[in-house]
Amino acid sequence: MWISTTLDSFSTVLPLLLIISTLLAAVLLRPLRGTIDNVRTVDIPSVTRSSASSTYSRASGTSSPTKGNPSIAGGPSPKWWIVTMMNVVLSGAFGFSVFLFFSESPNSHYAPVVWSLCIAYFLGFFGISFVDTDGLQHSPSTYGLSDLVPDLNPSTSGGPSSTTVPESNKNNDSNNGNDIHPVCGVPKMPTSPSSPNLVSKSGTMKPTAKTRGMIKSMTNPDIASMVKNGEIKDHMLEKTLEDYERAVNVRRMVFDEKLPPSSLNDLPSGPSLDYSRVFGANCEIVVGYVPIPVGMCGPLMLNKETVFIPMATTEGCLVASTNRGCKAITMSGGANSYLLKDGITRAPCLECDNAGEAASLAAFVESDDGFKELKDSFESTTSFGKLVSAAPTVAGRNVYLRLKCFAGDAMGMNMVSKGTLASVAVVTSRFPSVKLVALSGNMCTDKKASAVNWIEGRGKSVVIECVVRKEVVEKVLKTTVDAIVHVNIQKNLIGSAMSSAVGGFNAHAANNVTAVFLATGQDPAQNVESSNCITLMSKEPNGDLHMTCTMPSIEVGTVGGGTSLPAQSACLKAIGVKGGGKTPGANAQKLAHVVAGAVMAGELSLLAALAANTLVAAHMTHNRKPQAAK
C-alpha cells in the first residue's frame, strides 16, 4: 500500500520536480562547460605561426604549443575533480535514497526527489557532452552535400594534417592550397586554424561579435581554410569580416582550389580594365567601363560532371536562388542535357520582279543541285562554317532565304553573314533581276521575339532534364512536389498562354541567360531569343519531381567577340570552355548546356519560392539595403 501511495505521489509531483532539478543541474554543471570548451581548444589541431619545431603533429606525437598553455588554449586546464566529486556525491545520495525507499522509513518520500536529481544530472551532462562532441565535427563540403560526396569528409581521409606557417609569411595572403579540381579528383581538405568555440552544432560559425573579432584577426589563407572546411559559409564572409574587398579576396582563394588552376587570374576584383583589348574590337568612343558583380553558382552536377556557373548581375537574390536550385538538383543526382540542333541563321530579303520569279527562286533553292551550289559558295568563305540548310519563304515577290550554318565554337553571326553574301551571289547570277534588299530580312530572327526561332530553333537547341527527390524538395526548397507542379501549370503554362507568349512558357529564364551571357562575353541582346524556354514539371509515381526545360535557340560561342576580354575569358575558363574545343563546336555546345543548367536551377528555385510564398521575403533580405547615412 505504501509503495502505491508513494508512486502516486511521485507521478503527481514529477513534472515539477523535473523542472526544478533540471535548472539545478544546469547551475551545477555550468563550471564544467568551460572545462569542456578548453578540451576542444586543445584537441583541435591548429595552424601554428611559429617555427616548424613547435608544430603539433598527430603522426609524430610531438607536443603542441597550445597544449597545456592557458594563454593559447583560451583558459585554465580542465578541472576534472568537479566531475569526480559530483559523481561520488550523487552516487551516494542515490544509494541512500534506495535504502530509505525499501526500509519503510518516514522519510522515504524524499527518494523520488533524489532520483529526479540524478536523472537531470545524467541528462544535463549527456546533453553538454553531445553538443561539444558534435561541435568538433567538420562539414564535408561548403554546400552541405555530405551524403553525396562522403570522400571529402576529412575524418575519412586519414585524419587532419598540420600546416606550419613561418613567421616571415605570417601576413602573406597568397594561396598555397591544393590545385586539384573537384571534377578530376578529391581535393585535400586542409586543417582549419585554431578556432575555439567558433562553430555551432551544424559545424558552421556562430556569427557573434566575439567570433567575428577572432576570425578578422586571422590571415586570409586561414579564413579560406575555414570556408573550405564548412566552418564558415562563403556567403557569410562579408558579414563576418566586415570588409567587402577582403571577403572577395578570401572567396577567390576558395574558388581557386575548386576551379581549374588559374581560372580566375584574369577576372578582376579591383578597378582595372585593359583598354587596349577593347579598342577596335568591343566598343568605340570609350570613356570607362561599368563593373558588374560576378557571383559563382554551384557546384551543379551536369551530364555527370561538376560545373560552377559564373553569373554577372546586379539583381540581388538571383545568384543565391540559382545556387539553391543547383544544390537541390545535385543532391538528387544531377541533370542531363541533350543537344537537338546546332546552327546559326541569316535570312536575307531578296526582291524579284514578280511572284512567279519568286516561286522559281524558291524551287531552285530547294532542289538538290541548287542547294549544292549555295553550299559550295557559302563554305568557300570560312574554314569552320558548314551550310546546313536553306529554307525560302515567299511573301508576294519577296523571298526570305533562311540559311542555317554550323559555326563551330563561334556564335557565328559574322561567319554566317559573310557566307550569306556569297550564296546570294549565286542566286543573283541565276536570276539577274533579283535584288538584295537587306542582308537580314528579320526572318533570321536576331534579337527579336519570333515564332520561327521558337519552332525551328536558332543557335543551339537544348533540352535538359532532372528528377528532384521528394525529400530534397521539402528540405531544401521548403515546399511540396504537388505545390510546385501546381504553380508551374497555372503560371508557366496557362498564364503564358493567356498572355499569348511566344517562347515565354517559363518563370524567368531570361534572368539566368542574361547573367551567364554577361559573365562569359556573349551578346547580351541575344538573350531575347536565347531565353525561349518551356518549363515542364510532373510528379513521378514515387512522389519525386520530374522537370525539363526545352530551349530551342541558345546563341553562344567560346571564341570571338566579347569572349576575348580577360574577365569574360576567365569566366569561360572557370566553366572549362575557353577557346576552341578538341572537336569543332564542343566548347560552345557545352556552354549551351551550362546556360540551360543555370536556367533550370533558377526556374526550380523561383517556382519553389512562389509555391511557398517566400519570394518577397527573400528579396527583402537579399535585394534591399538601408540607405547610407548622409
Specify the pLDDT at position 92: 76
* Among 181, 447, 486, 622, the one annotated catalytic: 447
The whole-model pTM stands at 0.66
Considering the domain architecture, whether residues 324 and 462 belong to the same structural domain is answered as yes
- Give dist(CA 573, CA 301) in Å, integer: 17
Are both 406 and 476 inside the same structural domain? no
Residues 471 and 604 in one domain: yes
- The pLDDT confidence band at residue 79, using thresholds 50, 70 and 90, is low
Residues 489 and 612 in one domain: yes
Mean pLDDT in residue range 48-76: 37
Instruction: Categorize the per-residue pLDDT at 472 as very low, low, confident or very high, splitting at 50, 70 and 90.
Output: very high
pLDDT above 50 for 66 = no
DSSP states of 192-207: PPP-TT-B-TTSSB--
How confident is the model over 380-394, as a mean pLDDT?
A: 95
Position 271 confidence tier, pLDDT thresholds 50, 70, 90:
low
How big is the CA angle at 574 (ends 287 and 205), to the nearest 5 degrees? 100
- pLDDT band with cut points at 50, 70 and 90 for residue 105: low
Instruction: Give the tens place of pLDDT for each residue, 409-462.
Output: 999 999 999 999 999 999 999 999 999 999 999 999 999 999 999 999 999 999
Same domain, yes or no: 8 and 122: yes
Residue 144 lies inside a defined structural domain of this protein:
no
DSSP per-residue letters across 530-589:
HT-EEEEEEE-TTSPEEEEEEEEEE---SBSGGGGSHHHHHHHHHHT--S--SSTTHHHH
Which of these three, 73, 107, 135, is where a domain ends? 135
Mean pLDDT of the chain: 78
- The per-residue pLDDT for 419 is 97
Catalytic residue among 315, 351, 357, 465: 315
User: pLDDT per residue over 178-188, tens digit each?
Assistant: 333 333 333 33
Q: Domain ends where: 135, 162, 187?
A: 135
Please report whether residue 278 resides in a domain.
no
Residues 327 and 355 in one domain: no
Domain assignment of residue 59, yes or no:
yes
Our CA dihedral for 500, 505, 508, 513, rounded to 10 degrees, sits at: -110
Q: Are 453 and 549 in contact (CB under 8 A)?
A: no
Does residue 286 form part of some domain? no
User: Is 290 domain-assigned?
Assistant: no
Between 46 and 204, where is the model more confident?
Answer: 204
Instruction: List the single range of 266-270, 354-358, 452-456, 584-588 with lowest mean pLDDT.
Output: 266-270
489 and 546 co-located in one domain: yes
Please determine, for residue 239, whether its predicted confidence score (pLDDT) is greater than 90: no
Instruction: CATH number of the domain at 357, please.
Output: 3.30.70.420
Residues 233, 191 share a domain: yes
Among residues 341, 383, 411, the alpha carbon closest in space to that of 588 is found at: 411
The residue among 414, 320, 430, 416 whose CA lies nearest residue 370 is 430
Backbone phi and psi for residue 626, each to the nearest 5 degrees, phi listed first = -60, 145
Q: Quick check: is 622 catalytic? A: no
End position of a domain, from candidates 438, 470, 492 = 438
Looking at 109, 181, 523, 539, which residue is catalytic? 523
- From the candidates 188, 539, 546, 619, give the one annotated as an active-site residue: 619
Do 495 and 362 share a structural domain? no
- pLDDT given at position 623: 63
Higher-pLDDT residue of 564 and 40 is 564
Answer yes or no: 619 catalytic: yes
Together in a domain, 504 and 538: yes
CATH number of the domain that residue 500 is part of: 3.90.770.10
- Let me know whether 62 and 162 are in one domain: no
> Is residue 444 in some structural domain?
no
Please indicate whether residue 523 is annotated as part of the active site.
yes
**338 and 360: one domain?**
no
Q: Would 627 be classed as within a structural domain?
A: no
Q: Total domain count for the chain?
A: 4
Question: Is the pLDDT at 118 greater than 80, yes or no?
Answer: no
Confidence tier at 107 by pLDDT (50, 70, 90):
low
| 138 among known catalytic residues | no
- 197: pLDDT strictly greater than 70: no
What cell does 616 get?
A: 518577397
**Is 140 a domain residue?**
no
**Does 309 have pLDDT greater than 80?**
yes
- Domain residues for the domain of 518 are 301-342+455-622
**Local confidence band at 587 (pLDDT 50, 70, 90 cut-offs):** very high
CA distance 272 to 57: 43
The SS3 of residue 516 is: helix
**Distance (Å, rounded) from C-alpha 199 to C-alpha 232?**
8
